[in-house]
Chain A
Protein backbone atom coordinates (compact mmCIF):
# COMPACT_ATOMS: atom_id res chain seq x y z
CA UNK A 1 0.00 0.00 0.00
CA UNK A 2 1.30 3.43 -0.86
CA UNK A 3 2.44 5.55 2.08
CA UNK A 4 0.12 8.47 2.70
CA UNK A 5 0.70 10.63 5.78
CA UNK A 6 -2.07 13.09 5.02
CA UNK A 7 -4.60 13.53 7.84
CA UNK A 8 -8.15 14.72 7.09
CA UNK A 9 -8.25 17.41 9.77
CA UNK A 10 -6.11 19.30 12.26
CA UNK A 11 -8.26 17.85 15.07
CA UNK A 12 -7.53 14.29 13.94
CA UNK A 13 -3.80 15.02 13.68
CA UNK A 14 -3.51 16.09 17.34
CA UNK A 15 -6.20 13.79 18.84
CA UNK A 16 -3.78 11.38 20.55
CA UNK A 17 -1.54 13.98 22.20
CA UNK A 18 -1.67 13.17 25.94
CA UNK A 19 -1.52 15.40 29.00
CA UNK A 20 2.07 16.17 29.95
CA UNK A 21 3.46 15.94 26.40
CA UNK A 22 6.63 17.84 25.46
CA UNK A 23 5.64 19.95 22.45
CA UNK A 24 8.20 21.42 20.04
CA UNK A 25 6.28 24.27 18.41
CA UNK A 26 7.88 26.47 15.83
CA UNK A 27 7.38 30.05 15.02
CA UNK A 28 10.33 32.41 15.18
CA UNK A 29 7.59 34.77 16.22
CA UNK A 30 5.92 35.86 13.02
CA UNK A 31 2.93 34.52 11.18
CA UNK A 32 4.89 32.92 8.34
CA UNK A 33 6.50 30.01 10.16
CA UNK A 34 3.74 29.53 12.73
CA UNK A 35 1.61 26.33 12.66
CA UNK A 36 -1.47 28.36 13.59
CA UNK A 37 -4.10 25.75 12.73
CA UNK A 38 -2.32 22.99 14.65
CA UNK A 39 -1.96 25.28 17.68
CA UNK A 40 -5.67 26.08 17.47
CA UNK A 41 -6.46 22.35 17.26
CA UNK A 42 -4.28 21.78 20.37
CA UNK A 43 -6.27 24.45 22.19
CA UNK A 44 -9.55 22.75 21.22
CA UNK A 45 -8.13 19.30 22.05
CA UNK A 46 -7.35 20.60 25.54
CA UNK A 47 -4.38 18.44 26.66
CA UNK A 48 -2.99 19.83 29.93
CA UNK A 49 0.37 20.13 31.71
CA UNK A 50 2.20 20.57 28.43
CA UNK A 51 5.84 21.57 28.05
CA UNK A 52 6.26 24.04 25.19
CA UNK A 53 9.61 24.53 23.43
CA UNK A 54 9.45 27.54 21.12
CA UNK A 55 11.50 30.60 20.24
CA UNK A 56 8.84 32.98 21.51
CA UNK A 57 5.74 32.51 23.65
CA UNK A 58 3.35 34.88 21.94
CA UNK A 59 4.31 38.20 20.34
CA UNK A 60 1.21 40.18 19.29
CA UNK A 61 1.53 41.58 15.79
CA UNK A 62 5.12 40.36 15.21
CA UNK A 63 5.80 39.94 11.48
CA UNK A 64 2.17 40.52 10.57
CA UNK A 65 0.18 43.37 9.10
CA UNK A 66 -2.56 43.20 11.68
CA UNK A 67 -2.56 41.64 15.11
CA UNK A 68 -5.71 39.68 14.33
CA UNK A 69 -3.80 37.56 11.79
CA UNK A 70 -1.37 36.00 14.23
CA UNK A 71 -2.48 32.91 16.12
CA UNK A 72 0.43 31.66 18.22
CA UNK A 73 1.09 29.75 21.46
CA UNK A 74 -0.65 32.56 23.38
CA UNK A 75 -3.93 30.64 23.10
CA UNK A 76 -2.44 27.63 24.92
CA UNK A 77 -1.35 29.83 27.84
CA UNK A 78 -4.74 31.56 27.90
CA UNK A 79 -6.35 28.11 28.12
CA UNK A 80 -4.17 27.02 31.10
CA UNK A 81 -2.57 24.14 29.16
CA UNK A 82 1.14 24.80 29.74
CA UNK A 83 3.18 24.06 32.86
CA UNK A 84 6.72 24.52 31.52
CA UNK A 85 8.19 26.60 28.70
CA UNK A 86 11.59 26.92 27.06
CA UNK A 87 12.08 30.04 24.92
CA UNK A 88 14.71 32.60 23.90
CA UNK A 89 12.38 35.56 23.36
CA UNK A 90 9.49 34.91 25.76
CA UNK A 91 7.93 38.36 26.09
CA UNK A 92 7.18 41.41 23.90
CA UNK A 93 9.89 44.09 23.83
CA UNK A 94 7.57 46.64 25.39
CA UNK A 95 7.04 46.06 29.12
CA UNK A 96 3.56 47.56 28.68
CA UNK A 97 2.24 44.66 26.61
CA UNK A 98 0.92 41.85 28.80
CA UNK A 99 0.51 38.56 26.94
CA UNK A 100 -1.37 35.42 28.00
CA UNK A 101 2.05 33.85 28.74
CA UNK A 102 2.89 36.67 31.19
CA UNK A 103 -0.52 36.25 32.84
CA UNK A 104 0.06 32.49 33.18
CA UNK A 105 3.49 33.20 34.70
CA UNK A 106 1.95 35.64 37.18
CA UNK A 107 -0.69 33.05 38.13
CA UNK A 108 2.15 30.65 38.88
CA UNK A 109 0.91 28.13 36.31
CA UNK A 110 4.03 28.00 34.20
CA UNK A 111 7.77 27.70 34.84
CA UNK A 112 10.03 29.43 32.29
CA UNK A 113 13.57 28.63 31.22
CA UNK A 114 15.04 31.40 29.07
CA UNK A 115 17.62 29.90 26.70
CA UNK A 116 19.90 31.74 24.25
CA UNK A 117 18.43 31.20 20.80
CA UNK A 118 21.42 29.40 19.32
CA UNK A 119 21.58 27.13 22.36
CA UNK A 120 17.85 26.40 22.21
CA UNK A 121 18.12 25.38 18.57
CA UNK A 122 21.25 23.32 19.14
CA UNK A 123 19.70 21.52 22.14
CA UNK A 124 16.82 20.38 19.95
CA UNK A 125 19.10 19.64 16.99
CA UNK A 126 21.28 17.51 19.29
CA UNK A 127 18.27 15.46 20.43
CA UNK A 128 17.32 14.78 16.83
CA UNK A 129 20.89 13.81 15.97
CA UNK A 130 21.43 11.41 18.86
CA UNK A 131 23.74 13.74 20.80
CA UNK A 132 23.19 13.87 24.57
CA UNK A 133 24.80 17.21 25.32
CA UNK A 134 27.37 19.64 23.93
CA UNK A 135 29.76 22.43 25.04
CA UNK A 136 29.02 25.97 23.86
CA UNK A 137 30.73 29.31 24.58
CA UNK A 138 27.37 31.11 24.59
CA UNK A 139 26.34 32.18 28.08
CA UNK A 140 29.76 31.87 29.73
CA UNK A 141 30.09 34.50 32.45
CA UNK A 142 26.34 35.18 32.54
CA UNK A 143 23.36 33.91 34.55
CA UNK A 144 22.92 31.22 31.88
CA UNK A 145 25.96 29.32 33.16
CA UNK A 146 24.54 28.93 36.69
CA UNK A 147 24.53 25.30 37.79
CA UNK A 148 26.13 24.06 34.57
CA UNK A 149 29.34 22.14 34.07
CA UNK A 150 32.15 24.28 32.65
CA UNK A 151 35.10 23.14 30.63
CA UNK A 152 38.14 24.83 29.12
CA UNK A 153 38.94 23.59 25.63
CA UNK A 154 41.96 25.10 23.85
CA UNK A 155 42.06 27.99 26.34
CA UNK A 156 38.43 28.92 25.78
CA UNK A 157 35.61 28.42 28.29
CA UNK A 158 32.48 26.49 27.44
CA UNK A 159 29.35 25.36 29.28
CA UNK A 160 27.57 22.04 28.97
CA UNK A 161 24.05 22.12 27.55
CA UNK A 162 21.77 19.09 27.35
CA UNK A 163 19.60 17.96 24.45
CA UNK A 164 15.85 18.63 24.52
CA UNK A 165 13.76 15.87 23.03
CA UNK A 166 10.10 16.32 22.12
CA UNK A 167 7.12 14.00 22.15
CA UNK A 168 5.31 15.89 19.41
CA UNK A 169 6.50 18.61 17.02
CA UNK A 170 4.03 21.01 15.44
CA UNK A 171 5.67 22.60 12.44
CA UNK A 172 4.78 24.72 9.43
CA UNK A 173 6.04 24.12 5.89
CA UNK A 174 5.07 25.38 2.45
CA UNK A 175 4.66 22.25 0.34
CA UNK A 176 4.63 18.56 1.30
CA UNK A 177 4.39 15.45 -0.79
CA UNK A 178 2.30 12.56 0.54
CA UNK A 179 5.44 10.82 1.81
CA UNK A 180 6.20 13.77 4.07
CA UNK A 181 9.05 15.45 2.19
CA UNK A 182 8.90 19.17 2.92
CA UNK A 183 9.97 22.48 1.42
CA UNK A 184 9.65 25.84 3.13
CA UNK A 185 9.26 29.42 2.04
CA UNK A 186 12.01 31.99 2.72
CA UNK A 187 12.50 33.04 6.37
CA UNK A 188 9.53 30.92 7.46
CA UNK A 189 11.88 27.94 7.45
CA UNK A 190 13.67 29.05 10.67
CA UNK A 191 13.34 26.34 13.37
CA UNK A 192 10.81 24.14 11.59
CA UNK A 193 13.32 21.71 9.99
CA UNK A 194 15.16 21.32 13.33
CA UNK A 195 12.04 20.74 15.41
CA UNK A 196 10.94 18.13 12.84
CA UNK A 197 13.94 15.94 13.67
CA UNK A 198 13.58 15.78 17.44
CA UNK A 199 10.06 14.54 18.23
CA UNK A 200 8.58 11.07 18.35
CA UNK A 201 5.73 12.36 16.16
CA UNK A 202 6.15 15.34 13.84
CA UNK A 203 3.00 16.96 12.46
CA UNK A 204 3.36 19.40 9.56
CA UNK A 205 0.86 22.09 8.61
CA UNK A 206 1.30 22.96 4.93
CA UNK A 207 -0.14 25.17 2.22
CA UNK A 208 -0.12 22.55 -0.47
CA UNK A 209 0.19 18.76 -0.84
CA UNK A 210 1.59 17.19 -4.00
CA UNK A 211 2.26 13.65 -5.23
CA UNK A 212 5.67 12.03 -4.66
CA UNK A 213 7.97 13.02 -7.50
CA UNK A 214 6.56 16.48 -7.90
CA UNK A 215 9.11 18.03 -5.52
CA UNK A 216 12.64 18.24 -6.93
CA UNK A 217 14.72 15.94 -4.66
CA UNK A 218 17.53 18.53 -4.76
CA UNK A 219 15.31 21.13 -3.10
CA UNK A 220 13.78 19.04 -0.30
CA UNK A 221 14.79 20.54 3.05
CA UNK A 222 13.14 18.07 5.43
CA UNK A 223 13.32 14.46 4.19
CA UNK A 224 10.20 12.37 4.83
CA UNK A 225 11.81 10.21 7.54
CA UNK A 226 11.22 13.05 9.99
CA UNK A 227 7.56 13.69 9.20
CA UNK A 228 4.67 11.53 10.41
CA UNK A 229 1.49 13.49 9.74
CA UNK A 230 0.58 16.19 7.24
CA UNK A 231 -2.45 18.46 7.25
CA UNK A 232 -3.32 21.00 4.58
CA UNK A 233 -4.28 24.54 5.50
CA UNK A 234 -7.65 25.63 4.15
CA UNK A 235 -6.26 28.63 2.30
CA UNK A 236 -3.36 28.20 -0.10
CA UNK A 237 -2.54 31.86 -0.53
CA UNK A 238 0.76 32.96 0.97
CA UNK A 239 3.11 35.86 1.10
CA UNK A 240 1.56 39.11 0.06
CA UNK A 241 -1.94 37.59 0.15
CA UNK A 242 -1.73 36.67 3.82
Chain B
Protein backbone atom coordinates (compact mmCIF):
# COMPACT_ATOMS: atom_id res chain seq x y z
CA UNK B 1 0.00 0.00 0.00
CA UNK B 2 1.28 3.44 -0.91
CA UNK B 3 1.47 6.04 1.80
CA UNK B 4 -1.34 8.56 1.96
CA UNK B 5 -1.03 11.98 3.55
CA UNK B 6 -1.72 12.08 7.29
CA UNK B 7 -4.42 14.27 8.85
CA UNK B 8 -1.96 17.00 9.80
CA UNK B 9 -0.70 17.25 6.22
CA UNK B 10 -4.25 17.48 4.85
CA UNK B 11 -4.85 20.30 7.35
CA UNK B 12 -1.62 22.00 6.27
CA UNK B 13 -2.75 21.95 2.62
CA UNK B 14 -6.19 23.30 3.55
CA UNK B 15 -4.61 26.20 5.42
CA UNK B 16 -2.88 27.35 2.23
CA UNK B 17 -6.34 28.34 0.96
CA UNK B 18 -6.68 30.99 3.68
CA UNK B 19 -5.98 34.49 2.43
CA UNK B 20 -4.86 37.40 4.53
CA UNK B 21 -7.86 38.84 6.38
CA UNK B 22 -10.23 35.91 5.72
CA UNK B 23 -12.98 35.07 8.20
CA UNK B 24 -12.84 31.28 8.54
CA UNK B 25 -15.06 28.73 10.27
CA UNK B 26 -13.55 25.31 10.93
CA UNK B 27 -15.62 22.18 11.48
CA UNK B 28 -14.77 19.37 13.88
CA UNK B 29 -11.93 16.92 13.08
CA UNK B 30 -9.31 17.52 10.36
CA UNK B 31 -10.68 21.05 9.70
CA UNK B 32 -9.87 22.16 13.27
CA UNK B 33 -6.24 21.13 12.77
CA UNK B 34 -5.89 23.69 9.96
CA UNK B 35 -5.77 26.48 12.55
CA UNK B 36 -2.23 25.32 13.43
CA UNK B 37 -0.87 25.94 9.92
CA UNK B 38 -1.77 29.49 8.91
CA UNK B 39 0.77 30.54 6.26
CA UNK B 40 3.33 32.96 7.63
CA UNK B 41 2.53 36.63 7.22
CA UNK B 42 -1.24 36.08 6.93
CA UNK B 43 -3.82 37.00 9.53
CA UNK B 44 -6.92 34.80 9.62
CA UNK B 45 -9.87 35.53 11.90
CA UNK B 46 -11.64 32.42 13.12
CA UNK B 47 -15.39 32.25 13.64
CA UNK B 48 -17.03 29.67 15.88
CA UNK B 49 -20.76 29.08 15.68
CA UNK B 50 -21.19 29.16 19.46
CA UNK B 51 -20.51 32.87 19.33
CA UNK B 52 -16.95 34.16 18.98
CA UNK B 53 -14.69 35.77 16.39
CA UNK B 54 -10.94 36.14 16.59
CA UNK B 55 -10.01 33.63 19.28
CA UNK B 56 -6.56 32.04 19.54
CA UNK B 57 -5.10 28.53 19.56
CA UNK B 58 -6.34 25.57 21.61
CA UNK B 59 -5.62 26.00 25.34
CA UNK B 60 -3.29 23.11 26.08
CA UNK B 61 -2.32 23.93 29.66
CA UNK B 62 -5.01 23.35 32.24
CA UNK B 63 -4.38 26.78 33.77
CA UNK B 64 -5.38 28.40 30.45
CA UNK B 65 -8.61 26.41 30.06
CA UNK B 66 -11.79 28.32 30.80
CA UNK B 67 -15.21 26.65 30.54
CA UNK B 68 -16.58 29.93 29.17
CA UNK B 69 -14.21 29.96 26.20
CA UNK B 70 -14.77 26.95 23.97
CA UNK B 71 -15.06 26.30 20.24
CA UNK B 72 -17.87 24.43 18.50
CA UNK B 73 -16.12 21.12 19.16
CA UNK B 74 -16.10 21.77 22.91
CA UNK B 75 -12.33 22.39 22.97
CA UNK B 76 -10.90 25.11 25.18
CA UNK B 77 -9.44 27.98 23.15
CA UNK B 78 -7.43 31.03 24.16
CA UNK B 79 -8.21 34.74 23.97
CA UNK B 80 -6.60 37.11 21.46
CA UNK B 81 -6.65 40.92 21.21
CA UNK B 82 -9.60 41.98 19.05
CA UNK B 83 -11.72 38.97 19.94
CA UNK B 84 -15.50 39.46 20.16
CA UNK B 85 -18.48 37.52 21.50
CA UNK B 86 -22.10 37.43 20.30
CA UNK B 87 -25.24 35.36 20.67
CA UNK B 88 -26.19 32.43 18.44
CA UNK B 89 -28.73 34.43 16.39
CA UNK B 90 -26.04 36.89 15.34
CA UNK B 91 -23.59 34.04 14.80
CA UNK B 92 -25.91 32.32 12.32
CA UNK B 93 -26.93 35.60 10.71
CA UNK B 94 -23.20 36.04 9.96
CA UNK B 95 -23.09 32.57 8.44
CA UNK B 96 -26.29 32.64 6.38
CA UNK B 97 -25.73 36.27 5.45
CA UNK B 98 -22.54 35.43 3.58
CA UNK B 99 -20.11 37.16 5.93
CA UNK B 100 -17.92 34.10 6.51
CA UNK B 101 -15.34 33.76 3.71
CA UNK B 102 -14.43 30.10 4.10
CA UNK B 103 -15.81 27.13 5.97
CA UNK B 104 -13.86 23.89 6.17
CA UNK B 105 -16.05 20.86 6.85
CA UNK B 106 -15.56 17.14 7.20
CA UNK B 107 -17.68 14.86 5.03
CA UNK B 108 -19.08 11.37 4.81
CA UNK B 109 -19.69 11.75 1.05
CA UNK B 110 -19.25 14.44 -1.60
CA UNK B 111 -20.74 14.16 -5.09
CA UNK B 112 -19.19 15.28 -8.35
CA UNK B 113 -21.65 18.17 -8.38
CA UNK B 114 -20.50 19.29 -4.95
CA UNK B 115 -23.43 17.88 -2.98
CA UNK B 116 -22.35 17.34 0.63
CA UNK B 117 -23.44 14.61 3.06
CA UNK B 118 -21.91 14.99 6.49
CA UNK B 119 -24.56 14.71 9.19
CA UNK B 120 -25.93 11.19 9.34
CA UNK B 121 -24.84 7.62 8.69
CA UNK B 122 -28.17 5.99 7.77
CA UNK B 123 -27.24 2.85 9.70
CA UNK B 124 -27.10 4.89 12.94
CA UNK B 125 -30.58 6.23 12.28
CA UNK B 126 -29.91 9.50 14.06
CA UNK B 127 -27.44 12.29 13.44
CA UNK B 128 -26.27 15.77 14.29
CA UNK B 129 -26.90 18.63 11.88
CA UNK B 130 -25.42 21.24 14.20
CA UNK B 131 -24.33 24.27 12.19
CA UNK B 132 -23.31 22.31 9.08
CA UNK B 133 -26.38 23.02 6.92
CA UNK B 134 -26.19 26.75 7.62
CA UNK B 135 -22.43 26.84 6.94
CA UNK B 136 -22.73 24.84 3.72
CA UNK B 137 -25.41 27.21 2.43
CA UNK B 138 -24.02 30.48 3.76
CA UNK B 139 -20.22 30.52 3.58
CA UNK B 140 -18.71 32.11 0.47
CA UNK B 141 -16.42 29.12 -0.07
CA UNK B 142 -16.92 25.57 1.20
CA UNK B 143 -13.83 23.37 1.49
CA UNK B 144 -14.17 19.70 2.39
CA UNK B 145 -11.22 18.15 4.24
CA UNK B 146 -11.39 14.39 4.62
CA UNK B 147 -9.86 11.01 3.87
CA UNK B 148 -10.33 10.09 0.21
CA UNK B 149 -11.92 6.73 1.06
CA UNK B 150 -13.72 5.37 4.10
CA UNK B 151 -12.30 2.80 6.53
CA UNK B 152 -13.44 -0.04 4.28
CA UNK B 153 -11.86 1.54 1.20
CA UNK B 154 -15.23 2.57 -0.24
CA UNK B 155 -15.76 5.72 -2.30
CA UNK B 156 -16.48 8.89 -0.35
CA UNK B 157 -16.27 10.93 -3.54
CA UNK B 158 -19.26 9.60 -5.43
CA UNK B 159 -21.35 10.28 -8.51
CA UNK B 160 -24.31 10.77 -6.22
CA UNK B 161 -24.50 10.93 -2.42
CA UNK B 162 -26.46 8.02 -0.96
CA UNK B 163 -26.41 9.43 2.59
CA UNK B 164 -28.78 12.21 3.71
CA UNK B 165 -27.63 15.53 2.26
CA UNK B 166 -26.35 18.52 4.21
CA UNK B 167 -26.73 20.81 1.18
CA UNK B 168 -26.81 20.53 -2.60
CA UNK B 169 -24.08 21.81 -4.91
CA UNK B 170 -22.28 23.69 -2.15
CA UNK B 171 -18.70 22.33 -2.13
CA UNK B 172 -16.02 24.31 -3.97
CA UNK B 173 -12.82 22.42 -3.13
CA UNK B 174 -12.05 18.91 -1.82
CA UNK B 175 -8.74 18.25 -0.05
CA UNK B 176 -8.00 14.62 0.80
CA UNK B 177 -5.08 12.39 1.69
CA UNK B 178 -4.62 11.73 -2.03
CA UNK B 179 -5.59 14.83 -3.95
CA UNK B 180 -6.91 18.36 -4.27
CA UNK B 181 -9.99 18.63 -6.49
CA UNK B 182 -12.04 21.60 -7.55
CA UNK B 183 -15.76 21.24 -8.20
CA UNK B 184 -16.47 22.72 -11.64
CA UNK B 185 -19.60 22.77 -13.82
CA UNK B 186 -17.98 20.04 -15.97
CA UNK B 187 -17.06 17.81 -13.01
CA UNK B 188 -14.20 17.32 -10.58
CA UNK B 189 -10.95 18.91 -11.69
CA UNK B 190 -7.89 17.07 -10.33
CA UNK B 191 -5.40 19.83 -9.55
CA UNK B 192 -2.91 18.35 -7.12
CA UNK B 193 -1.92 14.84 -6.24
CA UNK B 194 -0.13 13.18 -3.29
CA UNK B 195 3.58 12.38 -3.78
CA UNK B 196 4.12 9.01 -5.44
CA UNK B 197 0.55 8.65 -6.72
CA UNK B 198 -0.49 8.66 -10.37
CA UNK B 199 -3.74 10.19 -11.65
CA UNK B 200 -4.88 6.69 -12.64
CA UNK B 201 -4.38 5.43 -9.10
CA UNK B 202 -6.35 8.33 -7.66
CA UNK B 203 -9.07 7.69 -10.24
CA UNK B 204 -9.51 4.09 -9.04
CA UNK B 205 -10.19 5.46 -5.55
CA UNK B 206 -12.79 7.90 -6.92
CA UNK B 207 -16.20 7.00 -8.38
CA UNK B 208 -16.85 9.94 -10.76
CA UNK B 209 -14.54 10.56 -13.72
CA UNK B 210 -11.80 13.05 -12.80
CA UNK B 211 -10.80 15.79 -15.22
CA UNK B 212 -7.03 16.21 -15.25
CA UNK B 213 -5.90 19.78 -14.88
CA UNK B 214 -3.32 20.88 -17.49
CA UNK B 215 -1.41 22.25 -14.50
CA UNK B 216 -1.65 19.05 -12.47
CA UNK B 217 1.14 18.94 -9.88
CA UNK B 218 2.21 17.35 -6.64
CA UNK B 219 0.44 18.68 -3.54
CA UNK B 220 2.31 21.76 -2.38
CA UNK B 221 2.60 22.66 1.27
Residue ranges of A at the interface with B (Cβ–Cβ < 8 Å): 28-33, 55, 59, 61-65, 88-91, 93, 95, 102, 105, 112, 114-119, 121-122, 125, 136-144, 184-194, 221, 238-240, 242
Contacts and interface: CB of A to CB of B under 8 A. Distances in A.
Contact of B68 (A55, A88, A117, A187): A187
Contacts of A117: 49, 88, 92, 129-131, 134
Contacts of B133: 116, 118-119, 138-139, 142, 144
Interface string B2-30: 00000000000000000000000000100
State the 3 A-B residue pairs at the shortest beta-carbon distance, nearest first.
Answer: A118-B92, A118-B134, A141-B168
Contact of B51 (A63, A114, A122, A187): A187
A137 B87 CA distance: 21
B67 A239 contact: yes
B37 to A, nearest CB: 23
Given A138-B96, A143-B165, A89 B68 contact: no
Contacts of A136: 96
B160 to A, nearest CB: 13
Contacts of B124: 95
Nearest to B124: A95
Nearest to B169: A141
A121 B64 CA distance: 30
A34 B124 CA distance: 27
B65 A189 contact: no
A30 B66 contact: no
B128 A65 contact: no
Given A117-B130, A189-B85, A140 B66 contact: no
30 contacts: A28-B88, A30-B67, A32-B68, A63-B74, A64-B67, A65-B62, A91-B127, A93-B128, A102-B126, A114-B129, A117-B92, A117-B129, A117-B130, A117-B131, A118-B95, A118-B133, A122-B92, A137-B138, A140-B137, A140-B167, A142-B133, A142-B164, A144-B129, A186-B52, A186-B85, A187-B52, A187-B69, A187-B70, A188-B68, A189-B85
Interface of B: 28, 48-52, 62-72, 74, 76, 85-89, 92, 95-96, 121, 124, 126-134, 137-138, 164-168
A239 B128 CA distance: 28
Interface centre among A61, A65, A117, A119 (most CB of B within 10 A): A117
A187 B50 contact: yes
Contacts of B129: 88-89, 114-117, 144
Interface centre among B49, B72, B168 (most CB of A within 10 A): B49
A142 B167 contact: yes
Contacts of A221: 87
Contacts of A186: 52, 66, 68-69, 85
Contacts of A190: 50-51, 87-88
Contacts of B63: 240
Contact of A119 (B62, B69, B134): B134
Contacts of A125: 89
Given A30-B74, A64-B67, 18 more contacts: A28-B88, A59-B74, A65-B62, A65-B67, A89-B128, A90-B126, A90-B128, A116-B133, A117-B92, A117-B130, A118-B95, A119-B134, A140-B168, A189-B51, A190-B50, A192-B87, A193-B89, A240-B64
Contacts of B76: 63
Contact of A114 (B48, B121, B127): B127
Contacts of B164: 142-143
A237 to B, nearest CB: 11
A55 B28 CA distance: 16
B131 A118 contact: yes
B152 to A, nearest CB: 16
A63 B50 CA distance: 12
Contact of B89 (A55, A121, A137, A184): A121
